Homo-oligomer: A and B are copies of this chain.
Amino acid sequence: MASTLEEIAELSGVSRSTVSRVVNNDPRVSEATRELVLEVVRKEGYRPNLAARGLALGRSNVIAAVIPVGFENVLSDPYFPSLLQGMASAADTNDHFLMLSLGEPGFRHTVDEIARQGVVAGVIFSASKVDDPLLERLVATGTPVVSVGRPYDERVSYVDIDNRGSARQMTTQLLRLGYRRVALIAGPSFAPAAVDRSDGYADALSGFGLRVDENLIYEGDFSEASGRAGMRTLLEHRPDAVFSASDRMAAGALNEIRSAGLRIPEDIALVGFDDMPLAAEMEPPLTTVRQRPHQLGAAAATLLLDLLADPTGSPKRVILPTELIVRASCGSQLNQETLSR
């Protein structure tokens, strides 16, 4: 039950320093004493005290995940849990811990305070809106930050998926199948991911020599309700296919289409984005773009740890691949196809 360096030193008949070296894999220690000390360490179940280590080192091995989960509806799919799981997993394998901060306004301890307190070595920011002031403050104070999803500020490193390319490919898929009045249920314009997906949609249209028809675009907020409302509006303009920027909005759209007595995909094709678990269960199963929040979270944590190890470099970016998942809702059973980048 010995739990300090001092005690281990006593038990193995060496000095504190030597034990410290052994614990930290310092090469400057003879193989013999290393073995000896390690034995005692194992036997006593010794673990270094992280507070003390953090104090001595001037840095901690705790990273914070900041998620401003203001909207209830953001919680309705396993995206954030998976993201967190990925971050926790990556942090763990790198001997770091994950601290959680739900950026609810009204929280007393804002993240920048936390960062300054030395508890946290770096921060992973997620679901930030465009031009988030909190993110700005963090950058200003020099706290290492990684954003999940492209941030407004060019200086911050981030991990993301290729939203624009994926949306383009999905829309192109619809166009290839012959649909010509492809509507878009977009995400909220304050979300970079939503903007990128809308851009990808436009890219695809112009790639086919088609012009963007504002009547065929509705801006939702990623919620199922907004998807349904959007679909109601769009139906007036007779689209033959709909690309929803999220599966949850697609679910709402699906309900509306059904209520209107239309069939999917015979009367109107429907595709989504995210491949949340529900997508495969829908009637008909939803064609969509698969992203892997778990990997995204893991990549974010890893990137942050890289930054911590080498604070000098310029902002880094990691773009994770997505997959086009073709199911019945788009009126085709083409083979599954992988978006490379």
Contacts and interface: CB of A to CB of B under 8 A. Distances in A.
A98 B97 CA distance: 11
Interface in A276-307: 277-278, 281
Interface stretch (A14-22, A79-87, A182-190, A233-241): A79-87
A153 B268 CA distance: 56
How many copies of this chain?
Answer: 2
Contact of A102 (B3, B73, B88, B119): B88
A55 interface: yes
Interface in A64-85: 65, 69, 72-73, 75-78, 80-82, 84-85
A3 B142 CA distance: 15
Contacts of A84: 100, 102
Contact of A99 (B72, B97, B107, B281): B97
Given A85-B104, A89-B104, A108-B92, A116 B55 contact: no
A88 B76 contact: no
B109 A85 contact: no
Interface in A99-138: 99-102, 104, 107-109, 113-114, 116-119
B78 A107 contact: no
Nearest to A85: B102
Interface string A21-54: 0000000000000000000000001011111101
A328 to B, nearest CB: 16
B100 A98 contact: yes
B117 A48 contact: yes
A224 interface: yes
Interface string A308-332: 0000000000000000000000000
Given A50-B118, A85-B104, A88-B100, 18 more contacts: A45-B116, A47-B116, A51-B52, A51-B54, A51-B55, A52-B118, A65-B100, A69-B85, A72-B78, A75-B78, A75-B81, A75-B82, A75-B85, A76-B277, A80-B81, A88-B102, A88-B104, A97-B101
Interface of A: 3, 45, 47-52, 54-55, 60, 62, 65, 69, 72-73, 75-78, 80-82, 84-85, 88-89, 92-93, 95, 97-102, 104, 107-109, 113-114, 116-119, 224, 277-278, 281
17 contacts: A45-B116, A47-B116, A48-B117, A51-B52, A51-B55, A51-B119, A52-B118, A72-B277, A73-B277, A75-B78, A75-B81, A76-B78, A84-B100, A88-B102, A92-B107, A97-B119, A99-B100
